[in-house]
Structure 1
Amino acid sequence: MKSRLRRSLRRLSVAAATVAAVGALTAVPAPAHAADNPYQRGPDPTERSVTARRGPFAIDEISVNGGIGAGFNRGTIFYPTDRSQGTFGAVAVIPGFLSPESLVRWFGPRLASQGFVVMTLTTNGLTDTPESRSEQLLAALDYLTTRSQVRDRIDPSRLAVMGHSMGGGGSLAAAAKRPTLRAAIPLAPWSLTKNWSDLTVPTLIIGAENDNVAPVAGHSERFYDSMTNVPEKAYLEMAGGNHVDPTAESDLVAKFTISWLKRFVDDDTRYDQFLCPAPRPNRQISEYRDTCPHS
């Protein structure tokens, strides 16, 4: 009787150990990167996803009239409709000298569908200075985070600015005034201010090789070289490009703006692969400089 009992107990012990071992082999751990970064949004990126005309998020849009006291004229807000993933970072985008909102409007749906709230702007005046445009960018961000219909969808600690030409100079000035911004992306920037050594916001400058309005030697390249205190920076020069080319919808500009915003607004290191190592000169890129993002 005792021997039979001992044999039964041994069999039960072996069975329990087997079940435990199988369970350990078949358990699927949660992805570490998702748990480590609460700001990560969307699936793992690929070359195809960062150049797609639309990203994984369905979007909607709202027309906004700023009016007197708002600090900006009017614009359009593009935002992801998904509420299941928490809040999103936000970006304000402003055009350049004599340019309408339509010139930069394509950034709205393209960036929003990748997981950002985006506001493209009509300037107070077509001839507004970079200084004035910087104030309009910051006013738009303040509106987005405090008064807009989508304020509850936005993380106010994760904001960025973009702009073209004088709007690019404005985006640099906005970043200098508000160092809590997560990213700045000046496109063919124009500014009389040449020294940006006080800037501390991660900045991607996109210039154009044949720009005769804001020649890169006196603007984009000079601005980049003066940024001695930014934690990360990059300079992309479009091969054969003119002053307007950085605002024309293209997979090249989309890829690098999306990757820069994802990396620094969302702290998403999955996008390092598109920024580092630096791309070599090719038919689209005549020059690329960077500090190479540190994960």
Structure 2
Amino acid sequence: MREEEIIEFLRNCLAKKNEGVLVDIGDDAAVVKLGGEKIVLTCDTLEEGVHFLRDYFPLYFLGWKGMAVSISDIYAMGGEPLYSLVSLGVVEESGVEEIFRGVKEFSSQFKVKVVGGNLVRSDRWWIEVFSLGRVEKPILRSGAKIGDLIVITGYPGEASAGRKVLEEGRSGYSELKERFLKPFPRKEILEIKKEFSLTSLIDVSDGVGRDLYRILKESEKGAKIFPDELPISRNLKDFAGEKAFHYFWSGGEDYELIFTVKRGVNLPSYWKELPLAIIGEITGDVGVIKSGEQILEPAGYDHFK
């Protein structure tokens, strides 16, 4: 079974209607009613040998990135992160301090309180972060409408290119390496959503193609891509050449955001220092992504492929 098939199985197996559950399996995070508030819940795991190799991955970045991938899911619901629990698989006690230096620096910069967790002896390093936030009105994957514009933040593809550079032990390309090792979740979305009416939202963890397709699947829509508007950075082009689009479309681990807005919105090309690019529009051709006459496959990372 592939990842999407497993998720669909779990939705059918576990998802039950409950008036206290507003969003369950199938979005970036769950949303529940609790004490008069809407609470966002999510968890993520990074494991040595699956998501990184110790050869090129200092443990400080395991702490930072473990927090980042979890908090990104809360931003991808339009939520404000508040608290995290951090569980850690420990190979050597001497590495714990360095991991939690990364956790502490991230939590300080993003104003998230780490309030507990768990430690266990392990034969490989791993981190799991459970995070909680709050949201007034969650922005779901399922809200895209025909004619909406598709917007993406930053420069997707750089993180997966950075991973390739690290795996090959190549010198240079420091900015690409940094994008893989130390992603910055896009907290700017909390300001953007106040200025513009977002109809759908997702973070880019598994590649632009795969994550855009998830919006289309949940919204029962299609997409037309504007190939000349794709934000493929000069750093990525210098590294990948003709393969730059491959990294952009299917690379993953950027933790940028894809969102949709109604046509006619006067969207700036930058929000403060964050680049914004309109890369396409929503169509009624359900499940189909087109660039001109070419049909693009929803390629990207699959944990079980």
Q: How does the TM-score come out when normalised to structure 2?
A: 0.25
Instruction: From the CA coordinates, give the structure whose radius of gyration is larger.
Output: 1
Higher relative contact order (CA 8 A, sep 6+): 2
Q: How does the TM-score come out when normalised to structure 1?
A: 0.26
More strand by share: 2
